[in-house]
Amino acid sequence: MMPFRKGRYEVLAATTEGEIRESQRLRWLCFLGRNAATDQPDALDADDYDSRCSHVVIRETASGVMVACFRMLTLESGAQIGDSYSARYYNLSRLRDFSGRMVELGRFCIHPEWHDPDILRLAWGALARHVDEQQVALLFGCSSFIGTDTEGYADAFAMLRERHLAPKRWLPRVKAPNVFRFARALRLRRPDPRAAMAEMPPLLRSYLAMGGWVSDHAVVDAQMDTLHVFTGLEIRAIPPGRARLLRATMA
């Protein structure tokens, strides 16, 4: 991916060991450090998928501070879906028949001290560029809710059940030992739309606004202290107006 600048920020690929370690440090701050009793200056969030993925970072140009990062794993088709990180938590056998190129978006995070909405817009702009360059047909990954208290997200999960479940032909099945089957548990609940959107993680809201869909259950991840749902976005389903806005981000 060619680097590009927009406003205060620069989007670029992380290729050196130091850049990847810096992104792993940011991931630790976002996913694990928030629950740590004390700061751990050398702590990283790293796993065996890092060496297989391409890494993208966003920096504030003036200071050089890394304000966001994510990684991408490209698969040639659904035949390789078992190689994805998500397949550790979800039975994705129905997606084996997907014929197009796929990209798994993982470990997306924004620095906890930065709240500029332009950061998320630039991240989606970078994804749009990658999708165009690589002729990707499906984006997918795990969208995380902070914490494991399902009651706090009842309206969000009820809205996911009511409006955003995956088509049956792609619907992930249960694999993880600890899950919250929200489509079943909340089948009678009518969500409050305003409360539901307030509870949604920003990344998931973006997926849904573009026509994304989710699994019918959330994985309870005690290690990361999150609830996460499998999320998919077929590129052909993105409304044309949304697609134009994403590409305009890179102009």
Per residue in 31-74, pLDDT (tens digit) is: 988 877 677 888 999 999 999 999 999 999 999 999 999 999 99
- pLDDT value of position 103: 97
Angle, in degrees to the nearest 10, between helices 117-134 and 202-209: 50
Q: Tokens at residue 221, please?
A: 């991840």
Per residue in 164-216, pLDDT (tens digit) is: 999 999 999 999 999 999 999 999 999 999 999 999 999 999 999 999 999 99
Q: What would the CATH number be for the domain defined by 4-249? A: 3.40.630.30
CA-to-CA distance for 43 and 33, rounded, in angstroms? Answer: 9
Per residue in 72-126, pLDDT (tens digit) is: 999 999 999 999 999 999 999 999 999 999 999 999 999 999 999 999 999 998 9
